[in-house]
Chains A and B, each alone.
Chain A
Amino acid sequence: MSEPRHRLMDYVREEIMPHRFCVGCGCGTILNVFTHAVAEIDLDPARMVCVSGIGCSSWIPSPYFKADTLHTTHGRPIAFATGVKVMRPDLKVVVIAGDGDVSGIGGNHLIHAARRNIGLSVFMVNNGIYGMTGGQVAPTTPEDVKTSTTPHGNIEPPFKVADLVMAAGASYVARWTTYHVFQLRRAMEHALNKEGFSFIEIVSQCPDYFGRRVGLRTGVDFLQKFKGQSVRVKKAETMTEEELADKIVVGQLCDRDRPEFSSRLHRVTAEQVELIKKERAG
């Protein structure tokens, strides 16, 4: 008797499984949660385009998730996705990439996509380190952490990427961790259904290259830490900056309806075409 096939296997490229993520890495969890979210809201993967950049988490959609996938250059997935979305606003366009990709090298594309409020869902996997290259400091690495390129401790304050994206004008912004799988799934469902730019910062773990620097050797160590560090948005509003220093503020940062870019662009085009037709007829 053959083993029963999991219903979600239709959503992944089975032919290249098992995946290559390290033991305890958060990327497997996020692929799992993402796949559940897509199934839960009944999205057809054949009508989805998943765009990613360079880094461990960019492998979540490409090659593992079985939609049309575009594995692009480092830092540029949002810009590639912009071209796809503008020409095919009927497709669900999702970007999954890391903190170094999205907020480091690709930070400019991130803030401009949020400002335009183009209908992309961007899920940024924030493990606080450049993992694929072996553990260098990232724009999201906490202060004082020693990495291979900050051997004397990180002297730069980390980016609060979700807050940045909210300030830039996105329709929906949330932050969760890999500990909060159910909340994350619901946030992903909401983000995927949102018309404008939606963004989730997913605080994730890299036991191999970040954990070894901070004494967290396993994925479970990280999840327990995330659990203890997390503070809900509402509660965080009552806390001082000092109190929040080593906390992760989780929850929904904003959910608002603003005009979406590709449909506005479509309107300009449709109006122009009508105008020209009338002129020709007149």
Chain B
Amino acid sequence: MPDKKRVLMQGNHACVAGAIYAGMRFYAGYPITPSTEVAEGCARRLPEIGGRFIQMEDEIGSIAAVIGASVAGLKSMTATSGPGYSLMVENIGYAYMTETPCVIINVQRGGPSTGLPTKVSQSDTMQARWGTHGDYTAIAVAPSSVAETVTETIRAFNLSERFRTPVTLLLDEVIGHMREIITLPEPGECEVVERVKPTCPPEQFIPFEMTESLVNPMPAYGEGYRNVITGLTHDTMGFTTNKPVEIAPKLDKLRNKIMRHVDEITRLRTEFIDDAEILFISYGSVARAAFQAAKIAREAGAKVGAIQLQSIWPFPDKELMELCARCRKVIVGELNMGQVAIEVERVLPRDTEVHTLLRYDGEILTPMQLLEKLDEVL
């Protein structure tokens, strides 16, 4: 067996590798720091494999074209950072409502507004959950290494196709720009989920039928289904409705098709948690520092463990409750004013102390800072 291909790769380029592995063949985007390398990578790679790249006139047009390509039957994505994501959210809502799969990569920088184009942040975590108006359930995943960026990008596409919903891949500037030596997966090594297409004749097709799974087969445009898709609240045939008996079930469908499968979506990485009395909870670049801090603390004899949220939305309530059942204290570390911390507080029992180490000055959290916090709460 020849050695697997080991490469030195940047996180943003790992997104491209993962997306192409997952079958992504359309990219539309608009340049923005610190995500631009994703667009550059797609511009170079996609034509080589029969895919298409367009640089659109803005981020609104980018996500619109991505959704257009997806209804044309192709796995599609875009990448941006906070300001661009803010422009995209209306059309991301359109993808939720029309149940159109697509992947949006947000390489986070400091905000609000133009904020800190070149500095790291995790302050779009809640935006990935609640960005667009209305009631819906979001899926967001957050890798913490270049290797994980490849696998989580593949997973983002799988979840998107599986549940017919947009999925946000939350990177932060550190993960997007850091370089690591990784081994790219061989064809067949990672699961790739393909979109389920209708098999019935067009005249029998009910595009948004309330089935057991709540996820309907999706025909591509041009396949003869003469499908109607609208962002207006619609009935099972896809036609606009104002009937209360049809409105609530549609919204329930959007939520339940995901919430019934939280276990399948949730992915957590844990270290030293079996007898841990104190747990670090973090994600993205902070998780790297937290694992290191837990290791150092263990070496010094403290019963400390760490949990990394590889998927953030839907929030892993049940899993987190179980993992933290025996610990007395948790420390949530994140690069914002506590967006995940409030979720942790919501989930954990009242007698579990939730401490936070929050940084929002454009700098990373270091293992030493986490250890200092640990000393403080011990």
Q: Which residues of A are in contact with B by a Cβ distance under 8 Å?
A: 13, 16, 45-47, 49, 51, 62-63, 66-73, 76, 79-88, 90-91, 108-109, 112, 265-266, 268-269, 271-273, 276
How far does the alpha carbon of A71 sit from the alpha carbon of B67 in the complex, in Å? 12
Q: Is there an interface contact between A87 and B73, defined as CB atoms closer than 8 Å?
A: yes
Decide: A71 and B28 in contact? CB cutoff 8 A.
no
The stretch of B46-54, B109-117, B138-146, B266-274 that contacts the partner chain? B46-54
Tell whether, in the assembled complex, residue B221 and residue A71 are in contact, meaning their CB atoms are under 8 Å apart: no
Q: Which residues of A contact B91 (CB under 8 A)?
A: 72-73, 76
Q: Which residues of B contact A91 (CB under 8 A)?
A: 72, 221-222
Query: Could you tell me if B50 and A269 are in contact, using CB atoms closer than 8 angstroms?
Result: yes
What is the minimal beta-carbon distance from B181 to any residue of chain A, in angstroms?
25
Which of B50, B76, B94, B230 has the most chain A CB atoms inside 10 A of its CB? B230
Q: Is B66 interfacial (CB-CB < 8 Å)?
A: yes
Is B361 positioned at the interface, with any CB of A under 8 Å from its CB?
no
Q: Residues of B contacting A272 with CB < 8 Å?
A: 47-48
Whole-angstrom distance between the alpha carbons of A87 and B220 in the complex? Answer: 11
A63 to B226, CA, bound (A): 11
A71 touches B229 (CB 8 A): yes
Q: Are A82 and B58 in contact (CB under 8 A)?
A: no
Most buried by B among A16, A49, A68, A73: A68
A96 to chain B, nearest CB (A): 14
Cross-chain pairs A/B with CB under 8 angstroms, 11 sampled: A68-B221, A70-B221, A72-B91, A76-B60, A79-B68, A86-B26, A87-B26, A265-B54, A269-B46, A269-B47, A276-B48
In the complex, chain B residues 12-34 whose Cβ is within 8 Å of any chain A Cβ: 25-26, 28
Residues of B with C-beta under 8 A to A72:
64, 67, 91, 94, 231
Residue total for B at the interface (Cβ-Cβ under 8 A): 45
The interface residues of chain A lying within 8 Å CB-to-CB of B46 are 269
Supposing A71-B228, A276-B48 touch, asked if A83 and B69 sit within 8 A by C-beta, the answer is: yes
Give the docked Cα–Cα distance between A276 and B226 (Å): 37
Q: Nearest A residue to B221 by beta-carbon distance?
A: A68
Check if B227 is an interface residue, CB within 8 A of chain A: yes
User: Is the CB–CB distance between B64 and A63 below 8 Å?
Assistant: no
Min C-beta distance of A13 to chain B, whole Å: 7
With both beta carbons as reference points, the residue of chain A lying nearest to B25 in the complex is identified as A87
* Further 13 A-B residue pairs, CB within 8 A, beyond A45-B226, A73-B94, A83-B66: A49-B222, A69-B229, A79-B57, A81-B68, A83-B67, A86-B54, A87-B52, A91-B222, A109-B64, A112-B61, A269-B50, A269-B51, A269-B52
Q: How many Å lie between the Cα of A211 and that of B73 in the bound state? A: 43
Q: With CB as the reference atom, state the residue of chain B lying closest to A265.
A: B52
Which one of B61, B69, B222 lies within 8 Å of A109 (CB-CB)?
A: B61
Identify A82's interface contact among B51, B68, B239, CB under 8 A. B68
Determine whether B364 belongs to the interface, using a CB cutoff of 8 Å to chain A: no
A68-B221, A269-B50, A273-B48 given as contacts; is B232 within 8 A of A79 (CB)? no
Once bound together, how far apart are the Cα atoms of A238 and B73, in whole Å? 50
Mark B200-238 against chain A: 1 for CB-CB distance below 8 A, else 0: 000000000000000000000110111111111000000
Q: Do B60 and A88 have beta carbons less than 8 Å apart? A: no
Determine whether the beta carbon of B72 is less than 8 Å from that of A46. Answer: no
Chain A residues with Cβ below 8 Å from B66 are 83
Most chain-A CB neighbours within 10 Å: which of B58, B67, B76? Answer: B67
Q: In whole Å, how far is A179's beta carbon from the nearest beta carbon of chain B?
A: 31
Given the complex, which residues of A lie within 8 Å of B221, measured CB to CB?
49, 68, 70, 84, 88, 91
Contact B50 A68 (CB under 8 A): no
Residue of B nearest to A276 (CB): B48
Chain A nearest CB, measured from B168 CB (Å): 18
- Say yes or no: B72 contacts A87, CB within 8 Å: yes
Which chain A residues lie closer than 8 Å to B225 at the CB level? Answer: 68
With A49-B221, A112-B57, A265-B54 in contact, do A71 and B68 touch (Cβ < 8 Å)? no
- Asked if B226 contacts A70 (CB within 8 A), the reply is no
CA distance A69 to B49 in the complex (A): 29
